[in-house]
A and B are shown apart, each in its own frame.
Chain A
Amino acid sequence: MDSASTAPGVISDEKPLARVPLVLNKRNFSWLTERISGVVEQRAPRWWWVTFTITATIATFGLFCLGYQISTGVGTWGLNHPVGWAWDITNFVFWIGIGHAGTLISAILFLLRQKWRTSINRSAEAMTLFAVMCAAIFPGIHVGRVWMAWFLAPVPNSWGVWPNFRSPLMWDVFAVSTYFTVSVLFWYTGLIPDLATLRDRATSKIKKLLFGIFAVGWRGSNRNWRHYEMAYLLLAGISTPLVLSVHSVVSFDFATSILPTWHTTIFPPYFVAGAIFGGFAMVLTLMIPARAIFKLQDIITPQHIDKMAKIILLTGSFVTYAYTMEFFMAWYSGNQYEKFAFFNRVFGPYWWYWWVGMLFCNMLSPQLFWFKWCRRNIYVVYFVCMCVNAGMWFERFIIIVGGLHRDFLPSSWGMFYPTWVDIWTFIGTLGIFTSLFLLFIRFLPMIAMSEVKIVLPEANPHHGPTADHPPLVATGKERT
C-alpha cells in the first residue's frame, strides 16, 4: 500500500490487509486482449473436439429421448399415482437454479460494486442462458401434449379458455420467459464491446462481417460508452428483482399447495439461496478447468475462487438454516402430517437422499469453506462444488418425490422408479448444457475483456504513477 492509503499511527506491518489486485502479474490491456481473444481465434484444440463429440452425442441421445417421449407419451417416464411429478420437475428446478448464478454475478454484484465479478460474469451469464434453456424443456414436455403448450400463453382461443392466472405454474411461464429474455439482453449488451474487438482483429471477411453485424457499429467512442453504461446499469437494475423472482415463483409451485413439506412460508428465500448456491457451484465446476486449460489463472485468480467459495458458504448456510427451520416448525406446529412427512424424509424409503444429498452434500460439505486453506485448495473447492451439484439435485428430488410418495392416505402410498427415458433425458440435458458451453468458449470471448480492463489500475484516473498505478505501457508487449 502506498503511504497515502495508510492510516496515521499504524505501527504494524499492513501487508495482510493490502487489497490484492484483481488481475495478477500486472498484466496489461494488450495481454488481456491477446489471451482472451486467442481462445476464440486459434484453431480448436484436439481436447475440444473430443469433448464436444462426446457431449454432442449425449445431447443427441437426450433429444432422441425427448422425441420418443413426445411421440409415445409421458407413460415412458416412471410417473405414477401418487408420484405425478418426479424427475421432470426435479430437473426443471435443478437447471433453473443453476441459471441463477450468472445474473446474480452480472446484476447484483454489479450493483454492489463488486469488481471481482468482471472475470467470471461473461461465462456465468452464458451458463445461465444454457441452463435456462435446459430447464425450459421440462415444463414444456411434462404437460404431455406438447403441441398444446401454447395454451400457457394468455391468448384467447376458440373455446374461450384462458389460463388460470391464479396458478403459480402460470406465473412460472412469465417468470422464466422474462428472466431468459432479460438475461439474453444483458449478456448481449455486455458482449458488444468485445465483439467489436474481435471484429477489429478478425482475419477473414466472413468473421469480420459476422462480428461486425453483432457489434452493431461499436466504435468505442465516448458516446458509445455512455450509452452502453447506462443500458448496462438499467439492465442490472431490471435483472436484480428477476433473479429473486424466478426461483421465488418456482418455490410457489410447491408452497402454495397444502401438501406437507411443500407448504412452508420460508420457501421463496430458501429456494433463491439454494439456486445461488447451486449456481455458483456450477460456475466453479466449469471455470476451474477452463482457467487451467486456457491459462487464465492471472484473470480468474485464487481470490476469485475464494470469494465464490464464500458465497457458496453463505448461501449453503442459509439453506441449512431453512432446512433447520422446516424441521423445527414441522415439530412446533404439532401437525401430525407435517411431522410424519419430515420424519419420512429422514428415515423413510428415500432416507439416503436426505443423508447423502441434503445433509452431507448441502449442509456439511460447504462448511469446509470456513477455512481459508480449503477455499485456496483447488481440489477441495472442486470436491465441494461437485457435492453441491449433486446435493442440489437430490434436494429437489426429495422435496418433490418425498412430498408426494407418501401423502395423507397410506393405502395410496407408492414409490417412484425412473425409466431409462427419465434417466437419459436428464443426462441428455447435461450433454446439451456442456455442448452449448463448449460452443460458447469457441466462438465468443469467455471473459469480458472490456470489463476486466476497467478494473485494472491503468484504467483508474489518478494524479500520476504510484506503486499501485504504474504508467500505462503502450507498446502492447507483455510486462512482467
Chain B
Amino acid sequence: MSDRSQALPAPEGEFVETSRFGGLSILFALLALVGLGLGVVGAMVDPAQFSFSWLFAFAFFFTLCAGCFFWTLVHHATDADWSVVVRRQLENIASLLAVMAVFLVPVLLLRHHLYGWMNIPPGHEEALDVKRPYLNWHFFLTRAIVFFAFFIIATQLLRRFSVRQDKDGNPRFTFWMRKLSFISLPMFALCLTFGACDWLMSLNYHWFSTMWGVYIFAGTAGSSMSLLVLVITALRNAGYLQDVVTVEHYHVMGKWMLTFTVFWAYIGFSQYMLIWYANMPEETQYFLVRNTESWWALSMLLVVGRFFGPFAILLMQGFKKRPRRLCLLAAWILCMQLLDMYVIVVPALHGTGVHVSIWDFVPLLGMGATLAFVYLRLLGRTSVFPVRDPRVIESINYQN
C-alpha cells in the first residue's frame, strides 16, 4: 500500500452535491409514495396478511438501523480509530430510527391481527393470564414509546455532537459522545432485547427463549455492517471518500462481517440445539413450524446462506480487501437478514407452509424507499465523514 502518512483531508470536509442525487431522490420519493399508498390499500384489502408483511419489513429495516446505532456506540465506547471515517454514515443510518418510529405506528394499529394475545380477554387462558402484567396493550405501547424515545434521543444527540465537531474540531464533543455511548450501551441492550420480545417473540405468546434478544442482536450487528459496506462503496463509486476510505477499512469491515457471521451461527445453533435436545413442547413449537412443510427449505437456506457460505468466503483475507467482491457478499448477507426476519415473522401467520403474498413486497418497497429518501436528505447536509474528529488522521492512515 502506498504511504498515506501525509494524507490530510480538507478542513471544510467533503460534501455531497445534492443536485447530483436530485433525480434519485425524486425516484425514491415516488416509490415511497407508491409503496406506502399501496400499503394503505393492502391494509384494507387483506389486513391479516398485510400486518405480517408490514411487521416483517419493519423488523428488517429496524434491525439495520439499530445495528448502525450499535456500531456508533461501540466506536465511541472503545475509542476506536479505524471507524472514524465511516462513522458519519453510521450516524446517518442510525438517525433513520426516527423514521422507523413512524413505521411502528401501523404495527400498533394492526396489533389485533398480529398478536393473538391482544384478542384474548382476561380469564380465558391461564397461561396468558400469568403474563398479563407484561403482555398488556398499555404496557406494550409504553415500552414501544420508551424504546423509540431512547433510540431517537441518543441517535440525534450523537449525530448532532458529531456534526458540531465538524465546525470547530473541539475534542469536548468526543468526550460527550463517549459518555453518551457508555450510558447508551446498556440501554441499547435492554431496548433491543425487549423490543425483540415484544414485536417478534410475542407473535406466539406461548413461546419464549432467554437467547432471543441475543439472537436478534447477532443478526442486527452483522447485517448492519454489511449495509455499511454497501453504503460506503456506493459513496466511493460516486466519487466521494476516495482518499479517506482505503482497503484497510474494507478489511476491518469484512472482519466484522465474519465475526458476526460466526456469532450469529453460534447463537442460532445454541438456541436451536438446546431446544431440540430438551424437546419440551412449549419450546419446540417455534422450530416445529419453521422446520416442517415448505418452511424447512427456507430454514435450511438460512443456515447455509447466512453461515456456511459467508463464513468460508470471509475467511479469505484477499476477499475482504476487494470492495467489489465484498459488496456482493454484503448484499447477500442483507438478503439473508431479510430471509431471517421472514422466517421469524411470517410462519406465525402461515404455519402450514410458505405462502408468498404480493403484500410482502409492498411494505418493503414503501419503507425502503422512504428510508433511502430521508437518508439522501441527511447525506447532503453534512460532510461525508467527520472531518475534524481528533482521530481522523489516525483513521485515514489505519493499517491492519
Interface residues of A, Cβ cutoff 8 Å to B: 4-14, 16-17, 111, 113, 241, 244, 248, 252, 255-258, 263-269, 317, 321-322, 325-326, 328-329, 331-335, 370, 463
Contacts and interface: CB of A to CB of B under 8 A. Distances in A.
Nearest to A168: B277
Nearest to B135: A332
B209 interface: yes
Contact of B278 (A258, A325, A332, A334): A258
B271 A265 contact: yes
Contacts of A370: 182
Nearest to A463: B5
Contacts of B390: 6-7, 10, 14, 17
B274 interface: yes
Nearest to A262: B278
Contacts of A255: 274, 278
Contacts of B208: 329, 332-333
A263 B274 CA distance: 8
B169 A325 contact: no
Interface in B355-400: 387-394, 400
B169 A265 contact: no
B300 interface: no
B274 A252 contact: yes
Nearest to B280: A258
Contact of A5 (B209, B387, B394): B394
Given A263-B274, A325-B210, A332-B208, 8 more contacts: A8-B10, A8-B387, A9-B169, A10-B171, A265-B212, A265-B274, A265-B275, A332-B134
A7 B262 contact: no
Contact of B169 (A11, A321, A332): A11
Contacts, number: 117
Nearest to A240: B262
A256 B171 contact: no
Q: Which of B10, B130, B134 has the most CB of A within 10 A?
A: B130
B189 to A, nearest CB: 6
Contact of A16 (B171, B262, B388, B400): B171
Nearest to B182: A370
Given A7-B389, A10-B388, A334-B130, A113 B189 contact: no
A8 B172 contact: no
Considering the complex of A and B, which 10 residue pairs feature the smallest CB-CB distances, nearest first?
Answer: A266-B210, A10-B169, A265-B211, A8-B11, A268-B270, A334-B130, A256-B277, A9-B11, A325-B210, A265-B271
A256 B169 CA distance: 54
Given A5-B394, A335-B282, A266 B174 contact: no
B270 A269 contact: yes
A248 B182 contact: no
A7 B210 contact: no
B388 A9 contact: yes
A7 B211 contact: no
Interface in B187-222: 189, 193, 208-214
B313 interface: no
Contacts of B393: 4-7
A21 to B, nearest CB: 15
A12 B9 contact: no
Contacts of A241: 262
